[in-house]
Amino acid sequence: MAEVEKSAPSVDEAIEAALTELGIAEKDAFIEVIKEPKAGMLGLGKQEAVVKVRPRRSGADLSQEELEEQAEVAAEFLEGLLEKMDIDADVETNLDEGRMYVEVWAPAGDEDEMGILIGHHGAVIESLQELVRIVVSQATGSRCMVTVDIEDYQKRHRSRLVSKARDAAKRVQRSGNEEALEPMSPYDRKIVHDVVAGIEGVDTESEGEEPRRRVVLIPENA
């Protein structure tokens, strides 16, 4: 079975590179994080993330019990974090269309603090997602498959991104020309890669350097 080991400044970038080389979507991959990235001091001691990725065997996906265990770990961590931040919010787990979410909701009429947790263009919620990924992976020993959501921000964002990827794929199918999307975060690029992986006649690749890295849709076998 093919196996790829990749290093990059972040875990998501390393995973993206490995998935692209294998030509598979994340849902079809077994991912092992070998090393977490380290920033280092003044550029010294800097360590890139290292991951090992291989295609899943049939039936190797996480069970519902494993997803629920991950969600419980994530919810407990977020509850503690919000308490330390003195933010009043409800934390719930929700399995929606095969994806496990840990959802954060504000008390009625008090949504301002939720905007702080989302951040400009989702910057803060991405950081929360990364913290949860590390905590869950360390606690369970498996790749975190839980998505942090705040007031349904991620679901709405994902829906828009899926529609954008499908529309772009249709244009590439019709024209036979490649199309580059706008720069995206590693998390968003993985969503696009996964969506297009299920569309016949179109492939994806990533190009550019962070934070201007983008997904390019290309005709299959071009």
Q: Give residue-wise pLDDT tens across range 168-208.
A: 999 999 999 999 999 998 888 888 988 998 899 999 988 88
**Distance, CA of 91 to CA of 134 (rounded, Å):** 19
**Distance, CA of 115 to CA of 136 (rounded, Å):** 24
If asked whether residues 78 and 49 sit together in one domain, one would say no
If asked whether residues 198 and 176 sit together in one domain, one would say yes
- In sequence order, the 6+-apart residues with CB closer than 8 A to the CB of 186 are 10, 12, 13, 15, 16, 213
If asked whether residues 180 and 204 sit together in one domain, one would say yes
Mark which of 60, 93, 109 sits at the end of a domain.
Answer: 60
**Distance, CA of 142 to CA of 110 (rounded, Å):** 36
Q: Give residue-wise pLDDT tens across range 74-94.
A: 999 999 999 999 999 999 999
* Residue keyed to tokens 């280092």: 40
Strand, helix or coil for residue 74: helix
If asked whether residues 134 and 191 sit together in one domain, one would say no
Which domain range does residue 206 map to? Answer: 153-222
CA 122 to chain centre: 13
Kindly state the helix (H) or strand (E) to which residue 102 belongs, with its residue range: strand 99-105
pLDDT more than 90, % of the chain: 46
Q: Are 77 and 59 in contact (CB under 8 A)?
A: no
Domain count for the chain, please give it: 3
Q: Give residue-wise pLDDT tens across range 5-18.
A: 999 888 888 888 88
If asked whether residues 21 and 71 sit together in one domain, one would say no
Mark which of 101, 132, 151 sits at the end of a domain.
Answer: 151
pLDDT the model gives residue 60: 44
Strand 99-105, strand 90-96: pairing: antiparallel
Q: Are 214 and 182 in contact (CB under 8 A)?
A: yes
Rg (CA), the chain: 18
Q: Which amino acid, residue 26?
A: E
